[in-house]
Structure 1
Amino acid sequence: MKITFFSTQPYDKEFFNRYNDSFGFQLDFFEIELNAQTVHLVDKSDAVCVFVNDIVSETVIAQLSIKNVKVIALRCAGFNNVDLAAAKQHNINICRVPAYSPQAVAEHAVALILTLNRKTHKAYNRVREQNFSLNGLLGFDLYGKTVGVIGTGNIGKAFCRIMQGFGCKVLAFDIIANKELEASGVQFVPLIELLQQSDIVSLHCPLNEQTKHIISSDTIQMMKPGVMLINTSRGALIDTTAVITALKSGQIAYLGIDVYEQEEHIFFRDLSATVIEDDTIQRLMSFSNVLVTAHQAFFTKEALTQITLTTLRNVDELLKTNNLSARSALLV
């Protein structure tokens, strides 16, 4: 049985080759993204494995069906880039990794907060240039601050607990309140109330029609002046143009993002020798109070191990039984 991988990096090959021995798949790796122009590269494969920026559209799925592909495996939790209705129509199973290491993403969100607040990235560069001045490095105590968490799935839940450990008051917004978090002291409140009260707002919700641009010019105006905004979920949760306007006015005083609305044209590539034509990301990076990382929140040994094993098990089960014991991982 053969799996064709798209959007692969050296670490993908390393981990999937390392754990494939007990499964015995033939693995075919491509660095380029899956889309309507590259789907022809799939040759005699039983499954394809894709990542966050691959475009699994109706056109792509139709071509995969013609090629007798039976499974599309996402090695990630999000699936907004997949046409699920088309997959169902063509009788192709879609599976994902609903939970790998929620701590990895939650801890990265905290790293963004600490770095933006205490400006350790600037201090590092200063000291290397023998500049030991503290001017411009003033931060604030996290203790006692109010942190608003939008989305309390596995990652949001882990993030809430970490922030409670810092002595923060944690507010949360989700469709259904998590009783376990409520028992620990997290307060579930309406979105407007969360935005109005929070010193730090962190996004941990999936991207769908209801959450796209949940951070817009309207919701930004509900926030405290000088708020810190963190996004380690999906780029399109934020209206980037509105955020830039708020950064210029000071309404948003700190922005930390590990995802970006147009990241498929930039992230996971070395563009150091090229001119980036995306004016929006260039504008964002020009702000001294903005920290951008390139979708690395998931990038820990533990997370990659779990992603690899879950993906291989999902494909193995679906190809052998057309069923999946981990029902939360099966989309179609």
Structure 2
Amino acid sequence: MKTIFFSTKPYDKTFFNTHNSSHQLQLEFLETHLGPHIVNAVDEGTFAVCVFVNDRLTEEVIRVLAGKGVKVIALRCAGFNNVDLEAARAHGIRVCRVPAYSPEAVAEHAVAMLLTLNRKTHKAYNRVREQNFSLNGLLGFNLHGKTVSVIGTGKIGKAFCKIMLGFGCKVLAYDIVRDETLEAAGVVYSDFETLLRHADILSLHCPLTPESRYLINEQSLQGMKSGVTIINTSRGALINTNDAINALKTGHIAYLGIDVYEQEEKLFFKDLSGSIIEDDTIQRLMSFPNVLVTGHQAFFTNEALDEIAATTLDNIAKLSRGKEPDKSRILV
């Protein structure tokens, strides 16, 4: 059974080839992302395509895949906003994912971004290397006692809440489903407006859906206190970037940490150090001294990549044998 991987890097090949020793699937790795520009290059009779967060599986792409005999779209991530699920269903293509590869990896990165922005350790590192030991401009604030508002308490949001409770923070949460174990630990669920109003720190851990797109916008920002810190390790389009820039300019947002960006497919996972980036919006963001951008790095740990490879190949292998993976892994 042939599976073509898109948007692959050397580390993908390493982890997937290691785990394929127990499956013996035929794997082909391509660096390009999957979209209309390349879909016709998929070989006839390919059983599965394996895709990542910035591949674009539109109705057009899925129609071509179906015509070539593709039976499975295997996401090696948890999010699926980049796949037209209705088109996949209509064309009889199964869609599977990795729902929980390492929640702690993403949660810990969110905390790392928060601490970096607050305590300015990235600036201190550069100063000390230049033998500048001055503390001017490095003033931070205690996390202990602050109100941390968390949108989305799935596996990642839950892990983040637990860490923040460990810092001695008051944790508010908003989700359509309440987690009783979090409530027992001290997390207080509230309505959306209350959560925004009380947030010293806001961390986003919800999926991107039509309803959550631009969840953080001019209106919702106005409902937050001045000087709020916002961290986003979920999906870029949860934040209206232009509205965030305006709030940064006025000081309404004191710190912004993003591991995701709404136009990231043109930038992230690429070495553009020798290129001129034409995206003025990301350039504007990175010009702020109180903004920290990482390139969709939150998932990037040994443990996470190991679980992603193991689960993805298990999904493909089971579907190739007519068996069903765990229900949480199946979207269509």
TM-score w.r.t. length of structure 2: 0.99
Partner SS, residue 94 of structure 1: strand
Aligned pairs for 1:225-264 within 5 A: 225-264=226-265
For residues 62 and 218 of structure 2, the distance between their equivalents in structure 1, rounded to whole angstroms, comes to: 36
The equivalent residue for 1:28 is 28
The equivalent residue for 1:158 is 159
Aligned pairs for 1:278-297 within 5 A: 278-297=279-298
The equivalent residue for 1:4 is 4
For residues 145 and 85 of structure 1, the distance between their equivalents in structure 2, rounded to whole angstroms, comes to: 43
Deviating beyond 4 angstroms after TM superposition, the runs of 4 or more aligned structure 1 residues are none
For residues 24 and 153 of structure 1, the distance between their equivalents in structure 2, rounded to whole angstroms, comes to: 33
For residues 295 and 22 of structure 1, the distance between their equivalents in structure 2, rounded to whole angstroms, comes to: 30
Residue deviations 1:133-163 (CA, integer Å, cap 9, x gap): 0000000000000000000000000000000
Partner SS, residue 61 of structure 1: helix
Specify the code of the residue in structure 1 equivalent to 2:37.
Answer: Q
The equivalent residue for 1:59 is 60
The equivalent residue for 2:224 is 223
Partner SS, residue 37 of structure 2: coil
Specify the code of the residue in structure 2 equivalent to 1:39.
Answer: V
The equivalent residue for 1:111 is 112
Aligned pairs for 1:85-234 within 5 A: 85-234=86-235
How far the C-alpha of 1:125 sits from its partner, in A, is: 0.4
Residue deviations 1:203-257 (CA, integer Å, cap 9, x gap): 0000001100000000001111000000000000000000000000000000000
For residues 278 and 14 of structure 1, the distance between their equivalents in structure 2, rounded to whole angstroms, comes to: 32
Specify the code of the residue in structure 1 equivalent to 2:59.
Answer: E
The equivalent residue for 1:37 is 37
Partner SS, residue 321 of structure 2: helix
Specify the code of the residue in structure 2 equivalent to 1:286.
Answer: S
For residues 272 and 210 of structure 1, the distance between their equivalents in structure 2, rounded to whole angstroms, comes to: 36
Partner SS, residue 309 of structure 2: helix
For residues 4 and 292 of structure 2, the distance between their equivalents in structure 1, rounded to whole angstroms, comes to: 34
Specify the code of the residue in structure 2 equivalent to 1:283.
Answer: R
Partner SS, residue 72 of structure 1: strand
The equivalent residue for 1:79 is 80
Partner SS, residue 21 of structure 1: helix
Specify the code of the residue in structure 1 equivalent to 2:184.
Answer: A
Specify the code of the residue in structure 2 equivalent to 1:121.
Answer: H
The equivalent residue for 2:328 is 328
How far the C-alpha of 1:177 sits from its partner, in A, is: 1.1
How far the C-alpha of 1:169 sits from its partner, in A, is: 0.3
Question: Percent of counterpart pairs with the same letter?
Answer: 65
How far the C-alpha of 1:41 sits from its partner, in A, is: 2.1
For residues 211 and 60 of structure 2, the distance between their equivalents in structure 1, rounded to whole angstroms, comes to: 25
For residues 23 and 177 of structure 1, the distance between their equivalents in structure 2, rounded to whole angstroms, comes to: 38
Q: Which ranges of structure 2 fall in alignment gaps of 5 or more residues?
A: none
Specify the code of the residue in structure 1 equivalent to 2:39.
Answer: V
Specify the code of the residue in structure 2 equivalent to 1:75.
Answer: R
Partner SS, residue 107 of structure 2: helix
- Aligned 8 A contact 2:319 2:325 in 1: no
For residues 30 and 111 of structure 1, the distance between their equivalents in structure 2, rounded to whole angstroms, comes to: 32
Task: Count residues in correspondence.
Answer: 331
How far the C-alpha of 1:48 sits from its partner, in A, is: 0.4
Specify the code of the residue in structure 2 equivalent to 1:96.
Answer: R
Partner SS, residue 34 of structure 2: coil
How far the C-alpha of 1:40 sits from its partner, in A, is: 1.8
Specify the code of the residue in structure 2 equivalent to 1:88.
Answer: R
Q: Which ranges of structure 1 fall in alignment gaps of 5 or more residues?
A: none
TM-score w.r.t. length of structure 1: 0.99
For residues 87 and 196 of structure 1, the distance between their equivalents in structure 2, rounded to whole angstroms, comes to: 40
For residues 256 and 213 of structure 1, the distance between their equivalents in structure 2, rounded to whole angstroms, comes to: 16
For residues 176 and 313 of structure 1, the distance between their equivalents in structure 2, rounded to whole angstroms, comes to: 29
For residues 178 and 80 of structure 2, the distance between their equivalents in structure 1, rounded to whole angstroms, comes to: 23
Specify the code of the residue in structure 1 equivalent to 2:236.
Answer: G
How far the C-alpha of 1:18 sits from its partner, in A, is: 1.0
How far the C-alpha of 1:325 sits from its partner, in A, is: 3.3
Residue deviations 1:277-308 (CA, integer Å, cap 9, x gap): 00000000000000000000000000000000
Cα RMSD of the aligned pairs, angstroms, is 0.6
